[in-house]
Structure 1
């Protein structure tokens, strides 16, 4: 894991459709297919099961869930392409300039069986508001149960390489944004080692639509290639009952973030999305223990020290 992955995008460019929104939605479907194939190959056992659904306002989606795999205990790769009119509350909460909307995207969460394999998340999305404004958003982050400094650095290097190809400011800006967004405020700790997060990259204001779309496509691809590499590198590492117990605790923190803070969860519920698909991000099992404090000097305490904002993962030797 000392080198960068493919230095240039290799995922196919989408075939243009009459409307740009259809071009984006078609690519999202294609990306879902590709990513599911990559994850199945890395897992080596289970396959995704699909649940197609329709949205009450228009459009629908394909929820794909993998369970009881060789590496992945529960994972989801969900596509949606929906339209409708938001409630006033939802439009206000999401700062929508017009309650009419079209939204398409792919949302991914993987919960591995082994505590040696990190939890991962990624999503890419495109919105159009009724007044004609449109924007892209997305992000990816890594939640190791035990932080491996070298692997965290490598993960950030892959992301930084993609960002650099599109805009020299992207990595620094979006990494800081991720530190702020993936933060469990009531715990005063980050969800994991972060990644990047960006929202409302507005067409025209933040770049032309094709350039922004190209960036979003590379974000999706680098996630697929980087995370499957981490799966392969860590899946066979041994672990103890103590490490499995810590995994249950860390999964609990992950669930807290997704239920209490995550805007995507709130958007889906507020706009009448399919509940099962929205909550696929939750782990199959997790635990909470009253006032749990890791033992001083333990591996668990060492990981806890990394869960903070502002770590420079691209530095030769980040400090705790």
Structure 2
């Protein structure tokens, strides 16, 4: 059982992260509003032991539901979690930005981002993060371009980051009960430790670039795909693929990080689609666009190869 939460004055985490995350939330919201062109984010502040701002956009021209949430929290780990994370002091500070984007059109991909900073009172600290792209219909050219962008960003920091964190995403964004990935992957990294893996400033710069490449690439895909035509069958397939996202959030993602999740009341619902459908139905018809998409939903695809080979 947790003890009483600590005050924000109990210790002073390294400066810079929270300021950047607040700025990044504003930057990303503005960028998404410009790409959407039909609605604006509504900001709601909340408090816990700390606080945050949850920004939501609904019923935009392109985005049916979008959430960009910032939080900064002081708290205490449970003893099991402290052992799992191997920290000596259960008092901690964490700040994060969590993003979930669900467009109207099945031609525009779903996407997600999370960047997090954790620091124990002893000074043990790390960064974590993830981003992924979940097309309803996999466009191999766009998937390759997306991976080229995130690889180029990683290369500026460490040549080992992209293969390491791409493999992490393949493993993480996987639904074992379905035997498929939820999309075309991206990056996933945990406990990128300050000092062990780089200076604080170096790791913060990497996480800042993760946020920048996410906003830039997704805005581009919104503009490229928003006006592509679709009809009822494509919308029906979108609802089924949205259901896979909901299954991932509820069975894989949230249970694995519930204690360190931001404490705002809307956090667990942030990445869930506004509507989804579950059907007991056969696999897509052989040779259909849906069947071709299904074939790409597997770990280990080399999106940088000319044919996206496994």
- TM surpasses 0.5: yes
Shifted more, 223-232 versus 286-295: the winner is 286-295
Residue deviations 1:59-82, cap 9 Å, x none?
110000100000000000000010
* Aligned match of 1:39: 32
1:286 to 267, 271, 276: 276
In structure 1, C-alpha distance between the alignment counterparts of 2:115 and 2:261, rounded to whole Å: 18
1:143 to 134, 145, 148: 134
2:251 to 252, 260, 263: 260
1:110 deviation in Å? Answer: 0.3
In structure 2, C-alpha distance between the alignment counterparts of 1:292 and 1:248, rounded to whole Å: 15
Secondary structure of 2:267's counterpart equals: helix
Residue deviations 1:162-201, cap 9 Å, x none?
0000001110110001000111111110110001111100
1:22 deviation in Å? Answer: 3.4
1:105 deviation in Å? Answer: 1.1
1:122 deviation in Å? Answer: 0.8
Secondary structure of 1:277's counterpart equals: coil
* Aligned match of 2:216: 225
In structure 2, C-alpha distance between the alignment counterparts of 1:121 and 1:134, rounded to whole Å: 24
1:278 deviation in Å? Answer: 2.5
Residues 191, 141 of structure 1: alpha-carbon distance in 2 compared, 3 angstrom cutoff: same
- Could you state the TM-score of these two structures normalised by the residue count of structure 2? 0.92
Q: Is the 8 A contact 1:120 1:142 kept in 2?
A: yes
2:111 equivalent to 1:109 = no
Shifted more, 21-30 versus 36-45: the winner is 21-30
In structure 2, C-alpha distance between the alignment counterparts of 1:19 and 1:269, rounded to whole Å: 21
2:283 equivalent to 1:316 = no
1:293 deviation in Å? Answer: 1.3
1:218 deviation in Å? Answer: 0.3
In structure 2, C-alpha distance between the alignment counterparts of 1:316 and 1:272, rounded to whole Å: 40
1:273 to 259, 263, 271: 263
Secondary structure of 1:167's counterpart equals: coil
In structure 1, C-alpha distance between the alignment counterparts of 2:45 and 2:265, rounded to whole Å: 13
Secondary structure of 1:216's counterpart equals: helix
The list of structure 1 runs, each at least 4 consecutive aligned residues, that deviate by more than 4 angstroms after superposition, is 92-97, 268-272
Report the RMSD for the aligned CA atoms in angstroms. 1.8
* Aligned match of 2:61: 70
In structure 2, C-alpha distance between the alignment counterparts of 1:74 and 1:30, rounded to whole Å: 21
In structure 2, C-alpha distance between the alignment counterparts of 1:94 and 1:288, rounded to whole Å: 36
Q: Is the 8 A contact 1:128 1:135 kept in 2?
A: yes
Secondary structure of 2:14's counterpart equals: helix
- Could you state the TM-score of these two structures normalised by the residue count of structure 1? 0.89
2:74 equivalent to 1:83 = yes
1:297 deviation in Å? Answer: 1.2
Aligned residues: 300
Residue deviations 1:14-65, cap 9 Å, x none?
xxxx96533100100000000000000000011001110001xx21100001
In structure 1, C-alpha distance between the alignment counterparts of 2:90 and 2:280, rounded to whole Å: 42
